[in-house]
């Protein structure tokens, strides 16, 4: 059997570079060597490719049948890398340019989700150089979450309980983006749900995140070993069905294909689920929840990689059947 030539693209210029390295190693170690011939494409934190880069023209990358990008965050998960693959006419795992870009921008994603009837937490947006803590307090009150609009893995995110903390949180977020999103703080529980598919989407059983810290921040995710995970989540049948349907609704609204992980908040006072964000290239480390939720739902890690690659090939084939000129 001829092996499929898989290019694993990882690293990148974002604050999630180190996480990407760990995800890539896990993926490479679990790709069946009898089925796949893997080539590594490491992108440094300065944006330099360790080997010859993927070229942005059809037919110029004969050693690649499909790309498996695992470049978390900016310059990799935000549609920029996906645009390169589109120009190169290569199949690739994960959502396309539009879905990736919109999902990465927390403001635009929330607006699209809200318009589609998917519940999101109250928020407002401010720009670097025009930060106004008093306007935030007047609209959202305190505490509030302050986030860079375009970043993942909780980088640059903090919870502000006082005006002084809010000012500091805005300054921290502004280091990572020119646009800052501020959200009303929800008292409740955190959940995640994995979604798989192109047109036909399926959702995994959800898990609950039980961080020891104030919230599920970068340290809790990747450095400290204190966060507890409950899989499956302790939810009744109706709640489980609701969260799985909302996950599919969110992914469909953002026009994402292949894979996504949807993060939720469940407000204790109201029992309302809110979609917090949609991650289009979720972590694939040994502790990452996207593959763990699918494993619990009956799809093992290696099979999940097979499915994601096949979804990429299928979507590319359908796109090739599209007419782009008269």
Active site residue 283: yes
Distance, CA of 118 to CA of 139 (rounded, Å): 21
Question: Which listed residue (41, 78, 283, 306) is catalytic?
Answer: 283
- Mean pLDDT calculated for residue range 218-247: 84
Encode burial over 83-122: b for 16+ CB neighbours within 10 A, e otherwise. ebbbebebbbbbbbbebbbbbbbbbbbbebbeeeebbbbe
Q: Given 36, 222, 274, 290, which residue is catalytic?
A: 222
Q: What is the DSSP string of 198-256?
A: SSS-EE---EEEE-SSSS--HHHHHT-S--EEESS-S--HHHHHHHHHHHHHHHHHTT-
pTM for the predicted model, two decimal places? 0.91
Q: How far apart are CA 208 and CA 7, in angstroms?
A: 33
Mark whether 261 is an active-site residue: yes
Count of beta carbons in the 10 Å neighbourhood of residue 8: 21
Q: Does residue 279 surpass a pLDDT of 60? A: yes
Q: Which of 43-47, 207-211, 218-222, 283-287 has the lowest mean pLDDT?
A: 218-222
Q: Is 16 a catalytic residue?
A: yes
Select which of 26, 277, 301, 306 is catalytic.
Answer: 277
* φ and ψ at residue 278, rounded to 5 degrees: -120, 120
Catalytic: 277? Answer: yes
pLDDT in tens, 123-158: 999 999 999 999 999 999 999 999 999 875 567 899
Q: What angle do CA 39, 5, 289 make, to 5 degrees?
A: 70
- Cα 259 from Cα 57, distance rounded (Å): 25
Q: pLDDT band for position 220 (50/70/90)?
A: low
Containing H/E element for 153? Answer: none
Give the pairing of strands 66-69 and 4-11: parallel
Rounded to whole angstroms, the Cα distance separating 300 from 232 reads 16
Marked catalytic residue, from 16, 77, 78, 192: 16
Assess whether 14 carries a catalytic annotation.
Answer: no
Per the annotation, the verdict on 11 as an active-site residue is no
Domains parsed from the chain with CATH numbers:
4-93 (3.40.50.20), 101-118+187-304 (3.30.470.20), 123-184 (3.30.1490.20)
Which one of the listed residues 36, 261, 301, 315 is annotated catalytic?
261
What is the separation of C-alpha 136 from the centre of its chain, rounded to a whole number of angstroms?
Answer: 27
In the residue annotation, 318 being an active-site residue is answered as no
Choosing from 23, 279, 288, 297, the catalytic residue is: 279
CB neighbour burial string for 261-280, b if at least 16 within 10 angstroms, e if fewer: bbbbbbbeeeeebbbbbbbb
* Choice among 153, 158, 169, 260 that is catalytic: 153
Identify which of 72, 96, 41 has the alpha carbon closest to the alpha carbon of residue 284: 72
């Amino acid at each position: 059997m001829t092996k499929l030539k898989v290019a694993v693209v990882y690293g990148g210029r974002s604050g999630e570079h180190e996480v990407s390295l760990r995800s890539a190693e896990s993926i490479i170690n679990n790709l069946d060597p009898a089925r796949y011939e893997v080539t590594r494409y490491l992108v440094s934190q300065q944006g330099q490719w360790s080997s010859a880069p993927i070229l942005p023209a059809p037919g110029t990358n004969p050693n690649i049948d499909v790309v498996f990008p695992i470049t978390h965050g900016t310059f990799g998960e935000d549609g920029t890398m996906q645009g390169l693959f589109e120009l190169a006419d290569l199949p690739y795992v994960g959502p396309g340019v539009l879905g990736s870009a919109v999902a990465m921008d927390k403001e635009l994603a929330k607006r699209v989700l809200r318009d589609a009837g998917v519940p999101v937490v109250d928020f407002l947006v401010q720009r670097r150089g025009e930060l106004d803590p008093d306007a935030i307090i007047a609209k959202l009150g305190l505490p509030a979450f302050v986030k860079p609009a375009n970043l993942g893995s909780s980088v640059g995110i903090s919870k502000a309980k006082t005006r002084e903390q809010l000012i500091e949180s805005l300054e921290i977020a502004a280091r990572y983006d020119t646009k800052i999103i501020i959200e009303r703080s929800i008292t409740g529980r955190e959940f995640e749900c994995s979604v798989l598919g192109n047109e036909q989407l399926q959702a995994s059983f959800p898990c609950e995140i039980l961080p020891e810290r104030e919230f599920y921040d970068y340290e809790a995710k990747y450095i400290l070993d204190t966060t507890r995970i409950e899989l499956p989540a302790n939810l009744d049948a109706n709640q489980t069905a609701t969260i799985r349907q909302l996950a599919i609704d969110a992914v469909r609204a953002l026009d994402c294909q292949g894979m996504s992980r949807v993060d939720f908040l469940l407000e204790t006072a109201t029992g309302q689920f809110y979609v917090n964000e949609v991650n289009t290239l979720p972590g694939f480390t040994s502790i990452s929840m996207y593959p763990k939720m699918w494993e619990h739902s009956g799809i093992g890690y290696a099979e999940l990689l097979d499915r994601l690659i096949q979804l990429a090939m299928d979507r590319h084939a359908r796109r090739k059947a599209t007419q782009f000129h008269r």
